[in-house]
Structure 1
Amino acid sequence: PEPLSAFIDLFVIGEGEEIVGEIIEVYKRWKDKKQSRAKLLEELARIEGIYIPSFYEITYFKDERVKSITPKKETCYSVIKKQIISDFDKVAYPLFPIVPNIDVVHDRITLEIFRGCTRGCRFCQAGMIYRPVREKSVDTLIGLADEILTHTGYEEISLSSLSSSDYSEIESLITKLVDRFKEKGVGVSLPSLRIDSFSIALAQQVQRVRKTGLTLAPEVGTQRLRNVINKNVQEEDLYSSIKVAFEGGWRKIKLYFMVGLPTETEEDVEGIIRLVSKVDHMGREITGRKININISVSAFVPKPHTPFQWEAQQEREILSKKIRYLKNRLNWRNISFSYPDINRVYLEAVFARGDRRLGEVLERAHFLGCKFDAWREHFNFEAWQQAFTESGLSMEFYTNRMRDEDEILPWDHISCGVKKEYLLEEKKKALRGETTPDCRFEDCTGCGAC
């Protein structure tokens, strides 16, 4: 959270459902005593998982790298450990979501079926910081769905998690949900299925009420690069899953890819085109007609608390060239191709691994008119460049620079539970093209989260 340190008094590190009660109790006692604001922050800093940036001093080397991160008070934790909900089945869940009176994108109820992921994709921050895996029971989820549908009247249930098909009782859950709500015309959707855990039974259950779009994430185009990022699936898994889908009546498929990953070559980019071509050919062969393919290509952004946190992001020109090449080569009538604004991706990479000096950049950018940057028509990259220049900082320092393995990183005093030594070993395995198994199904990998 360092780039926001100048503007935020207090950050909760980790999961907030339970700690919010502790914060409120401390606040109530403070208000009754009519003490100073500083006293409130001191009391809150005693709660594990609370990070108060003003209580920590950051120093820098002349080359702008972080030199030290030191607590200013003895009562402050030297490392802030994230809050974790141990009993996910009993944690409070919103039962009365607001129902807008206009159409919205997420026009459905969302059931979080479990939290965490141990697949270990090396570019994925969520897969590291949400460990360990904790599930809700089928009975709890059925009860939640029943109550939320009663309060909202929605016609779709979206099963939310980092990988819904990895839920240990997914087939039982889908069967019960579909059976219970099919007469009301309520469908079930599974966002972003893993290509190695898709099954005929799962596809058939989901489409019994309504065929929703099928989303898969091959991520890359070759098995070599798939091993580098620890995707832990074979290309045959993808093709067999898609074959099942087409045979089961699916006619629309969305595929996620990423360019700019560490060790990526031209052959890896060409592999994306070959993979899409084969999926298209399979669809025509099995269904006897054209199938709709949505291709979404993103650019790699190195993220904190991942094995690739030390890696550099590729230059903007290189990333743009790769995406243009894919767009031109996949310019087919039955393909929809979406891609990001590389300048925005570049800015994301700056702030993803930024330090607290970026607070000045944020403030300057605000006064230069950077206020609605999520809308493309309002995004002004030149204004951001001006803000960096006036602040005496370089975007390239944060994006295109490899970090040394022994370098103090701006987030080293924030612990997500996964050990830095584990992340470093995973980085080395990536460069060797070695994979790490999922500890839910094989031996413990020693990440430190459990």
Structure 2
Amino acid sequence: MKMAISSPMDRISSLPNEVIESILMLLPLRDAVRTSILSRKWRYNWVKLPQLVFDDTLIEDSMEDDDPSELLKIIFQVLLLHDGPIVKFTLSISELKSGYEIYPLILLLSKNGIKELTLDISELGGYRLPSSLFSCDQLRQLYLSNCTFDPPPTFSGFSRIISLEFILVDFPDGVLGRLVSSCPLLERLKLEGPMYYDYLEIDAPNLKFFSSNARFKSIDFQNAPLLAVVSITSDDVDEEGKASEMINVFGCLPVIETLQLGRRFVKFLIVGGVPERLLFTLDLLKVLQLDEVYCGKIAEVSFVLCLIKSSPNLQKLEIEMFTSDDDAGPVLEFLEMQRYSDVSFNQLREVKMQFYSGTRPESKFIKFILEKSPMLETMLIESSKKVLDREFKRFRHISPEVDIIRKDADRNRVKYLAKGLHWSLTGEA
């Protein structure tokens, strides 16, 4: 006991350096720097951190009178004191007023072996990226927002990058396509914001994930043999685009497993007409998500069925639906004809229908799915409108194991129909 009191042991300081580094990386940067006052051994532990994150939490503690120049001074001091490579750097500051303020920072990082870079600066709006960014040849992940991506003529791409994420990033004509094709290891590409990218050609032999809500005239997956997840949810599309050629755009994706499409893009695809089946089969597609399908239009309902019929191994279907009973006759006749076809959705396990309002086309569509899905396990129907339970009792199903679940979106309450036609309240969701 006396020996323990007279010779106290600093157990934390005696931890291996890699453990101390892991602890510091879990702290906000300001707290990691503050550990330098704990002891002599801790004074310089933080200067070797491979990850640096500068965000608005630093503004609250470090700036007076909302002066971003003070924050920039702090950032430069940290970088000048830093010893060793900076693998990951994040700058997410809402108060910066000029893109030129970050130019020296990027120049320092380009000489420091940066591998993961995030520049999330919401207030600048379209600042031009410094040329030093394009010399960061060790980059593996790049996240940019609110800027203009205009590389110098000598730029030959990022040879090691695997992830590109662009939020409200402007590209001169043709630059985005050339960028993608010059990143041979690229696996993930995400485009967000109401930007216009004209004709988008995807030449990326290792690409596995693609997500976009941008606007473009057309998109061509000319070389993306490994692309497994695709999400295209544009709020708008260019009506002058090559709509008639787009219906078969997914034929170039032999291993696609998850597909999400927004209504605007669906309307764009069906301008040239909808075949009963695609010219190819999506053999590996397991998840299909469709936003805002208008069940009162034959073309949109036909497109949904076309995708399902062309996906023999589809397991999960999610649809946001809306419609009215006005002019519902043609759709009801179309679905009635489909009912007597020999089509069967043999692998479909889970269906989720959102915004159900009880109209006849919606009800008819759900009945059709239930009657054609022998392996169905769950049918979840979400509705914010009052729909009588007796409406659901009319649903017949071919699968002996299916649970039909109705969820009241307003009251967040669910009711179950399991292997029969007797509803019972089971509790809050």
Report the TM-score, using the length of structure 1 for normalisation: 0.34
Higher strand fraction: Structure 1 or Structure 2? 2
Which structure would you say has the larger Rg? 2
TM-score (norm 2): 0.35
Which structure has more relative contact order (CA 8 Å, sep 6+)? It is 1
